[in-house]
Chains A and B, each alone.
Chain A
Amino acid sequence: MGLLSFTNKGIYCKRGNFYIDPWYPVDYAVTTHGHADHVKWGNKNYLCHELTKPILQQRYGLEDQVQTLPYGKEIDINGVKLSLHPAGHVIGSAQIKLAFKDEITVVSGDYKIEFDGISTAFEPIKCHHFISESTFGLPIYKWETQEQIFDQMKNWIANNHHKNKTSILVAYSLGKAQRLIKNLADTHPIYVHHSIANLNESFAAAGVILPNTIRITAEIKKDELQKGIVIVPPALAEGRWIKNLINPAIGICSGWMAVRAGRRWRSADAGFALSDHADWPGLLNAIKATEAEKVYVTHGSTAVFSKYLNEIGIAAEEVKTKYGEEDDEGIEEKE
């Protein structure tokens, strides 16, 4: 591709001498969003959306190295006009639009189409070159609406309370957790693991308004947790702490839960196919809306998805990246 090249350090813009979501340290990293497979520690400079900065501060202690932009504001880097646009994936997630001469390239990072109530809604951008993820790039993945899924979740929680079970929802600290908090607020007190509480505090300091939650500490009694809703990150899902709660019932929130094998493999009590990635129709609609001449398919069902795009008349090729590999779970949703 003209403006960008795919190098072993990441997606590189030679003209502007910057990388997008590099996986090895570089001088200048443009960051789509705060998940660990997209932003690494050790770059000299970062450029990201205003609301990704609190994540980098909280997780990596970064401060002066981070330059921010609001959505839609354009800057010029050696003739390359760069702007950030909402990707709808998590708070602060951005598509990166690059315009050089008459050619527009968009690196979408991770994205979803449905508005989740908390991340700025995805915005399609017309471009010549579109770089798309394909995490759920198979026609078996068709999400129910968020409203339907949260209804099921609320029913499950009510049923757990009725049976004196503790409802534990497993969700990524960044993104899924805030989405749950926002959509389950006002039903029961929500107790969150400290990794989530820390992020929430950073968001609050940056002006993001989140419903109230309670940080889980040793002082909180188990019967209080049992009457509320507990949210923990995936790393804790199999741990002893959960097993020692009162009649724990574990609900995993991940797009992989759409398939039975995914649900059974995780030995959860319930699986909710709530994803922060686009589903099959979502990917196709997003790509068609860009009217791109060429689509570059990264992490996920790259081979299948690019083959299908070519068949329906959209030129596409697969690109090997290290996105989606950070997490070792394999079957876990990569974010």
Chain B
Amino acid sequence: MRRFSQLIQELELSNKTNDKINALVDYFNEAEDKDKPYVIALFTGKKPKRPVNTALIRQWATELSGIPEWLFTESYHNVGDLSETIALILPPAQYHLEKPLHQWMSELTLLNHKTDDEKKDYILTAWNSLTIQERFIFNKLISGNFRIGVSNKMLVNAIAKQSNEDSNKIMHSIMGKWQPDAITYDELTAGKHVNTDNSWPYPFCLAYALDTAPENLGETSTWQAEWKWDGIRGQIIKRKGELFIWSRGEELVTEQFPELHFLKDELDDGIVLDGEILAVKDGNVLPFSILQQRLNRKTIHKSQLSNAPIGFFCYDILELNGSDIRNEHLAKRRAILEQVINGLGTKHIVLLSPIIEFTGWQQLAEIRENARHINSEGIMLKKIDSIFHAGRKRGDWWKWKINPYTIDTVMIYAQKGSGRRANFYTDYTFAVRNGEQLITIAKAYSGLTDREIKEVNTFVNKNAIEKFGPVRTVKPELVFEIAFEGIAESKRHKAGLALRFPRISRWRKDKKADEINTLDDLRQLLNSTL
């Protein structure tokens, strides 16, 4: 486990993507072959069944360290991570044992069938033979939750670099079905267990934000206008009887959206669709907050399927009969797309993203004002003779978004930033009023000039009330206007609400803390969007 422990340490000590990728590449070059599939499984959340429950582990650790329960809890609050708290709080190990990761993993799996006493015996012996860092990792292995800032995409890029394979192939391969004890690293990178020949996606064509008046774009007849939907940009691929759904983040998300699986039967082979995954009911788009309930879940409950039904709004078609048609003009691709979608037997789930008919820019500007009513975030403008570019290119596609929502809030906490801003308080928490109280509503990092940051910094230094680790409570005096894109109910936040993409839009030096918005204002806004 020594090599794995080193990897974790390297990953944790850097916040630069390149350093992390290099650490992963080095690991895959140097580690024992049998360990590697386990690492990939751990980092992609392929969790084995948890062999011992958390309450027991915690109880044993408290017992062993001879401290009262409340002191364990205090320590846990201070450390913020249960596995680490246990690793730190236990008496020092009495000897050292080096076992490879794969051995620990298979021993833990076997533990599932043992009695609690046998489990306890095994775990206590392990704790007594590991360094603090290794104990921490061992505890994480039990829980299966290894969140250390390595995204699927980052892992895939590292494996692709190490194995010299295409990253989309790797992504498909590791998202497929495999067992870490039954596959080698080379088989995994070669994608033998899945057929990676079929799954590869095209790069997405992306738009720049419109930075001029639309009148400057010229003739309206040369432009196609569509709604800009606020969901997950996706690509649906049907090749040789298999269906794949890729997200814009180049993650394979096929399993997350069973509503779309009918396309496997209804689409012809050799078709690739570009569009937006959205929460859709009766053909209407629901707010992003509904879609959010469906994201990043390993399992989907029946209730989620009915509360947050998914649909796909098609923008474009990139492949037909197995041929790449991205260089055809948009108008032609759109005609093909309409034919394909109209030919589907199942209606109201996979739909054409409607084209907005307009004759003048002023008229389109008026239509755009209605975007929020249909849960759109503005308008997309695409040249009718544009090809489907790989990536972002100026000129052919523009996004013309509506203005964000804004509220006035007061700053109540401040924390120092990192990197260039490490000596300044740059991360702020804002609150709105709820009766006599202030209630946290958003955290934001950017949006101020360096000069304003210095000014806020001086204020924080003079007006700090309390400190909790790096965080300072400050006198609620500075009023900031916060811009955001949406609002959703949230059980996780004290306010019961969460803002989407909150950022500081300006410092309202003209306002006092008693003039800020209230929680009721936000609730009303929420109700009006549902």
Contacts and interface: CB of A to CB of B under 8 A. Distances in A.
A261 B85 CA distance: 11
A270 B14 CA distance: 10
A139 B75 contact: yes
A263 B13 CA distance: 7
Contacts of B136: 260
A259 B85 CA distance: 9
B469 A328 contact: no
A149 interface: no
Given A263-B12, A311-B68, A330-B467, A140 B81 contact: no
Contact of B74 (A138, A263, A264, A311): A138
A265 B13 contact: no
Given A260-B84, A330-B470, A139 B13 contact: no
B29 interface: no
A304 B79 contact: no
B80 A261 contact: yes
A331 interface: yes
Nearest to A312: B68
A238 B423 contact: yes
Contact of A139 (B84, B89, B471, B472): B89
Q: Which among A238, A268, A271 has the greatest number of chain B C-beta atoms within 10 A?
A: A238
Residue in B65, B71, B84, B471 with the greatest tally of chain A CB atoms within 10 Å = B71
Shortest 4 CB-CB contacts between residues of A and residues of B: A140-B88, A238-B422, A140-B75, A304-B74
B7 to A, nearest CB: 15
B461 interface: yes
A224 interface: no
Interface of B: 12-15, 65, 67-68, 70-71, 74-75, 78-81, 84-85, 88-89, 92, 136, 418-419, 422-423, 461, 467, 469-472
Interface of A: 138-142, 238, 258-261, 263-265, 267-271, 304, 307-308, 311, 328, 330-331
Contact of A138 (B75, B92, B422): B75
A267 B419 contact: yes
B92 A139 contact: no
A267 B15 contact: yes
A231 B101 CA distance: 37
Contacts of B68: 308, 311
B469 A260 contact: no
B490 to A, nearest CB: 24
Contacts of A142: 88, 92
B469 A270 contact: no
Given A139-B89, A267-B422, A308 B71 contact: yes
A265 B418 CA distance: 8
Indicate the member of B12, B79, B85 with the most A CB atoms within 10 Å.
Answer: B79
A138 B77 CA distance: 11
